[in-house]
Copies of this chain bind each other. A is one copy, B any other.
């Protein structure tokens, strides 16, 4: 078989599924034997509805998330053959039917036929994540405890904003990436903001949008920003750490439970094929 990776095979129809999940009780996205993972749960209910699939429906995900990380919005695609599609039958509310089979901590937001050339991972132009921190100034809302990092001291949001600006644009983020054998650590941060959300308990929201992220990148950057916000590091020190392109700095990877994927961006339908081709030319397979 000499065709491009992940091209749709004749006789199959591609479906886009939008999901959300509370990552607390999952060992992350990726399937692992004996572990409860989001991928595993989704394949389980797809199998219940559509029957066995040797290839696990060729499911692909926009961004794999680590253990404990949530998704307010995640996008996947699956390829279904005619026999599988016939099992939909008369009740077209596939999202509702999948939700009945899923536990409450994973929800299908929508299930629809994907446009031509759609690919959940290679078609995405950006990913957006949010990290939530409740410092001493925020209201302590225990109902959000599963997706909030609690700090007992106050953070200086202005200093954090000023430091965050230094991450904008194209950088080699080697200092803030967990090492891998292969692949570049160059990424393009298109947006990074730090603000208090007055409508949500005065919690500090750190939002980062980029073409893609290397492993642990956001949690490492948040670790550095929290040090600055708490007065235990300066902007200059963080800038120097970024420039050094190695992990010999004191900023730790913060806990996963404050982090949520909140948006995946796709180009307009007529640009999809172009985007998928572009990403396949330039990306290695281990990236998110």
Contact = CB atoms under 8 A, between A and B. Distances in A.
Interface string A182-215: 0000000000000000010000000000000000
Interface stretch (A59-67, A98-106, A230-238): A98-106
B96 A143 contact: no
Contact of A147 (B21, B108, B143): B143
Contacts of A146: 22, 104, 143, 146
Given A96-B136, A150-B99, A104 B21 contact: no
Count identical subunits in the complex: 2
Contacts of A71: 142
Interface in A99-142: 99-100, 104-109, 136, 139-142
Contacts of A152: 93, 96, 99-100
Nearest to A199: B199
A227 interface: no
A14 interface: no
B142 A21 contact: yes
Q: Interface on chain A toward B: helix, strand, loop, or mixed SS?
A: mixed
Contacts of A77: none
A270 to B, nearest CB: 27
A72 interface: yes
A145 B108 contact: no
B139 A109 contact: yes
Given A96-B152, A150-B99, A72 B140 contact: no
A70 interface: yes
Given A152-B99, A199-B199, A140 B109 contact: yes
26 contacts: A19-B142, A20-B139, A20-B140, A20-B141, A20-B142, A21-B142, A21-B143, A22-B142, A22-B143, A22-B145, A70-B142, A70-B143, A71-B142, A93-B152, A99-B152, A104-B145, A105-B142, A106-B142, A107-B140, A107-B141, A107-B142, A107-B150, A109-B139, A109-B140, A143-B147, A143-B260
